[in-house]
Structure 1
């Protein structure tokens, strides 16, 4: 396990403490249902555009073919044409959108010099499990069908999207399917029963709580799904980044341990004082820039390209 810094920046710590006293209790108290979700989705998308806007010069191409919807996002300096990153956005399975994640995609694209395809998977409760899993798997097959070799595809995701991204890779490995070149996860969920998260220090996150997570997951599935990679299967090298002060830190740590026990090479980075998916909020967490730089170096080491740079 690598700890990038012993302490987070003053700006990141202040943002987390403010959110802990304001956003988290409000989010935990509000109901998550078909009446509140339309507004909540708009608010979340707008907030993400503010705290993590796209980089200037980013190019976006919408795609809707063969049942696959999403966006190709190419950030500044992203010159590769032989590889792609399949990104699965977060949002607790009930929120998030490809438009809201253009900032994340543009930074990841620039750091890796690689285009990013953000899959527009169906959300719960309108489309519960396994709709999202099927959409992510269909997007992976679609990229393979477009001519990308498996070792030219890196799968990535955050939070609930991190669960879906890892589930794709673990399921593909279990079925002896074509493994991608690598897996990059930001603050992934690993246990939808929330038992692992409850073993950690879950009271410091600025936004995520047990109450909020339980309500969101309940719309997605009634099963206590977990990521359990099988030993001896073809699992790709993995990078996991998690915040040291977030609710799902224990999930990330346990998932890294499970991947290693299954025989995968897995680098775990715990970023001190950071809250859940701090990478999506570079305006509040300066560490996001360096986290993308670390992800860029990891991806380029797999794709054998020029050194990636932080954005």
Structure 2
């Protein structure tokens, strides 16, 4: 793994302008789109579709093996981002896993505050089941706010009496909108992207007057019993480090099989930088193996926790 690559990425991320006045929501959305968007990898076909009553992007690699399906929920603080901004990373994960993927354009705040995003995640998962896809053939993944939303969707599915999918992977999950994690403050200045005020602003837009410790908003406070095997990947250089660590710890305490990977010197959702950061490619490869491994065969239910790793309907039917 290249220290030079990590240092170069850190410098690039720190070079992003940060003005005294907070940009409008529309400016944040357009800026995020310009900064993050990457096209789907070569050989991955994309199609517009509808899932759970919401627009979605289907990504199909050239080499698909088996009936497995990946349901992805993108990051962006519940305020910005879309399946298009994440088409590159999701397509790369799908390509490595050999899975058809569908990325949901769930409703964003402030136009649609909590729990609209959770409702959309649950509706998308319910639609996959209604389309005849077996739960053991479904895996889920998400990053940042989408990582927290992925866990919240599984909690909502459990509450609705729906079966759980085969496995779930989350990248730099935002799991505590109360901002109680110690790294929110201890990693400020070390994190090249976020400061506490950024996260607080997103939480304000998403939650308004709602309870910030609600389990569907902050799943680090939830009972995670019964959730499927979980992979959590996070960078050591991010303010959300403790969200990931506490989420993994909560899962382990609730008898969920969980793997925690902390990448030294890495920023928030470093997986976006596949192809130019060795650690990103390695992390996506491990995530793909984790997800497909749980599709391929039954795994023991005893948990394990590892830290410090180097680490339906629509215009195009969902098949």
| TM-score, normalised by the number of residues in structure 1 | 0.87
CA distance in 1, matches of 2:245, 2:99: 27
Say how many residue pairs are matched: 289
CA distance in 1, matches of 2:167, 2:194: 27
1:13–1:274 contact (8 Å) kept in structure 2: no
Please state if 1:40 is matched with 2:31: no
Residue 236 (structure 2) aligns with:
244
Residue 124 (structure 2) aligns with:
139
Please state if 1:12 is matched with 2:6: yes
State which drifts further: 56-65 or 259-268.
56-65
Mapping 1:207-246, distance limit 5 Å: 207-222=193-208, 223-225=211-213, 226-227=218-219, 228-230=221-223, 233-246=225-238
Please state if 1:302 is matched with 2:294: yes
Mapping 1:1-311, distance limit 5 Å: 9-20=3-14, 22-23=15-16, 26=18, 29-32=20-23, 36-49=24-37, 52-64=38-50, 67-77=53-63, 79-196=64-181, 197-198=183-184, 200-222=186-208, 223-225=211-213, 226-227=218-219, 228-230=221-223, 233-282=225-274, 284-304=276-296
If asked which structure has higher relative contact order (CA below 8 Å, sep 6+), I would say: 1
Tell me by how many angstroms 1:81 deviates: 4.7
Tell me by how many angstroms 1:247 deviates: 1.2
2:154–2:227 contact (8 Å) kept in structure 1: yes
Where structure 1 has 5 or more consecutive residues not aligned to the other structure, the ranges are 306-311
Tell me by how many angstroms 1:188 deviates: 0.1
CA distance in 2, matches of 1:53, 1:275: 21
2:52–2:120 contact (8 Å) kept in structure 1: no
2:59–2:102 contact (8 Å) kept in structure 1: yes
Tell me by how many angstroms 1:65 deviates: 5.5
Render the CA deviation track for 1:63-86: whole Å, top value 9, x for unaligned: 126613201112343x13511111
1:288/1:76 CA distance change after superposition, 3 Å: farther
2:168–2:230 contact (8 Å) kept in structure 1: yes
Q: Secondary structure at the match of 1:26?
A: coil
1:203–1:247 contact (8 Å) kept in structure 2: no
Tell me by how many angstroms 1:285 deviates: 2.7
Residue 314 (structure 2) aligns with:
none
The root-mean-square deviation of aligned C-alpha atoms, in Å, is 1.9
